């Protein structure tokens, strides 16, 4: 079993290390190259899903060799729970118009895919020229719908994880790695 690095290994709520800081960094660099090649000659709009995607989106943006713009939306389907409620609500909507824009939706983690399906329908209705999804993590075994992801970082086990933007009650987002969360 891989353990979180010191000094984080003292936190008894952090279980097995799922993805290390080095693995995350290397994969984001690869994703940056893929996206840069795919969007050559275009200036995509990166739409980050707050709060979790902000860490990934910042690192991804720095890996892109393209002119880009940013916007953010916030949705809620978890509240303070560790399982989705299945009900999605927009907490903060976009500021920019998507009409005829190349949009890249940036997600931290995709679980059942229900939130993603809702977001996709909502954004397509706004008339973008294209809409693709880049998710850093996909939780295996939970997909309730076809995910249709253009860019994926890692497939991870179905355990609840924290770190690198992923949280429980707003904690652990700043960890530079991802580890299993063990409540209590």
- Where do we find the tokens 């652990």? 172
Greatest extent of the chain over all pairs of C-alpha atoms, in Å: 51
User: Has residue 87 got a pLDDT over 80?
Assistant: no
Which of 111, 148, 167, 169 is the catalytic position?
A: 111
Greater confidence (98 vs 85) lies with 98
Alpha carbons within 13 A on the beta-carbon side of 26: 6
Average pLDDT for 171-176: 96
pLDDT at 145: 60
C-beta of residue 24 within 8 angstroms of C-beta of residue 137: no
pLDDT at 142: 67
- Where do we find the tokens 């933007």? 165
Domain locations in the chain?
Answer: 20-158
pLDDT at 113: 85
User: Has residue 133 got a pLDDT over 90?
Assistant: yes
Q: Which two tokens stand for residue 6?
A: 């010191």
Average pLDDT for 20-48: 98
Average pLDDT for 70-74: 96
User: Has residue 119 got a pLDDT over 70?
Assistant: yes
Q: What is the pTM of this model?
A: 0.90
Q: Which two tokens stand for residue 174?
A: 């700043």
pLDDT at 68: 97
User: Has residue 153 got a pLDDT over 90?
Assistant: yes
Write phi, then psi, for 40 (nearest 5 degrees): -55, 130
User: Has residue 112 got a pLDDT over 90?
Assistant: no
CATH number at 20-158: 3.40.50.2020
Q: Is 111 a catalytic residue?
A: yes
pLDDT at 85: 54
Average pLDDT for 82-110: 87
Q: 104 vs 107, 142, 180, CA distance in Å? A: 10, 23, 28
C-beta of residue 119 within 8 angstroms of C-beta of residue 74: no
pLDDT at 78: 55
pLDDT at 126: 97
pLDDT above 90 as % of the chain: 76
Average pLDDT for 127-138: 97
């Amino acid at each position: 079993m891989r353990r979180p690095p010191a000094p984080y290994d003292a936190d008894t709520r952090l279980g097995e290390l799922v993805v290390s800081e080095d693995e995350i960094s290397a994969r984001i660099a690869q994703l940056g190259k893929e996206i840069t090649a795919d969007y050559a000659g275009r200036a995509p709009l990166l739409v980050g899903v707050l709060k979790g995607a902000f860490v990934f989106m910042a690192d991804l943006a720095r890996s892109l060799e393209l002119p880009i713009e940013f916007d953010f939306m916030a949705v809620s389907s978890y509240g303070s729970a560790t399982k989705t409620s299945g009900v999605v609500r927009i907490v903060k909507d976009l500021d920019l118009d998507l009409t005829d824009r190349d949009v890249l939706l940036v997600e931290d983690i995709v679980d059942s895919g229900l939130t993603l399906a809702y977001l996709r329908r909502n954004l397509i209705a706004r008339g973008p020229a294209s809409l693709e999804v880049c998710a850093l993590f996909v939780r295996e075994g939970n997909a309730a719908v076809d995910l249709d992801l253009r860019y994926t970082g890692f497939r991870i086990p179905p355990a609840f994880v924290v770190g690198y933007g992923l949280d429980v009650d707003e904690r652990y987002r700043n960890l530079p790695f991802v580890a299993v969360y063990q409540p209590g």
